[in-house]
Amino acid sequence: MLVIFSNDVLMRKNILHFQYGCPNLTLLIFVECSKKSIPDLAPLEAVLFDVDGTLCDSDPLHHYAFREMLQEIGFNNGIPIDEDFFVKNIAGKYNHDIAVLLFPDDIPRGVKFLEDKEAMFRRLASENLPPIKGLYKLTKWIEDRGLKRAAVTNAPKPNAELMISKLGLKDFFDAVILGSDCEHAKPYPDPYLKALEVLKVSKDHTFVCEDSVSGIRAGVTAGMPVVGLTTRNPENLLMEADPTILIKDYEDPKLWAALEEVDNKGGSSKTAA
């Protein structure tokens, strides 16, 4: 067993890479992450959002597409995957990692399967893509304070563009960061670190909104407080990733109590100027 103590983002990233490359090695990692609360970020500079399950309730569509298509090819002896399997093995993960998990002996087949599955998802999403409750209340709060914002996602580019457009947020985001454009996708911190760089903001004045274990870990490892959403994933599972707070949706009183404190402590960098 290897025991490592670290509070350095680059070292944590390298440890995570080492762990993924050595599956038979047990690592006990004590990471001294930032324990800042949301109000501690004042003056606030930016808010970073995941897309699937964070902006919109898209996981049921993904689950349906996986369930139908996997059953078609006889995966799991033709027994449909349940929500527990979906949450533990698929939700929030990068497509290449899903392909490796589902088709370990034929990864090219897995990659092609995922491409076909995403096409099915887009057909479903184009018909019905409900926003997370309270989303537009939060986006207005952000716009009113002149905060910078980015969408940070493991989704393929066509999926991300479709969802953001369908939600009417194409002009809301200053940047869209894709996992495929980074050296490593979530759960590595790379996409969130790239968002900070593109927006030219500090991790000490930025928070993340995420709904999956993979995404929460990415935000935490990048050194930012994470607001976790219990959209579809179990609360106890999300807590393992160490979010700063967990909320049901964007109307949750816990979120607005924290944002009120941000305003009271100095608001945003724009309003504080």
Residues with active-site annotation: 50, 52
Q: CA nearest 56: which of 190, 166, 141, 144?
A: 166
What gap in Å lies between CA 210 and CA 169, rounded to an integer?
17
Reported for 195-201, long-range contacts at CB under 8 A and 24+ positions apart, including other chains, are 195/48, 195/150, 195/152, 196/46, 196/222, 198/150, 198/174, 199/45, 199/46, 199/148, 199/149, 199/150, 199/174, 199/175, 201/45, 201/46, 201/148
Specify the amino acid at residue 1: M
CA distance 226 to 136: 19
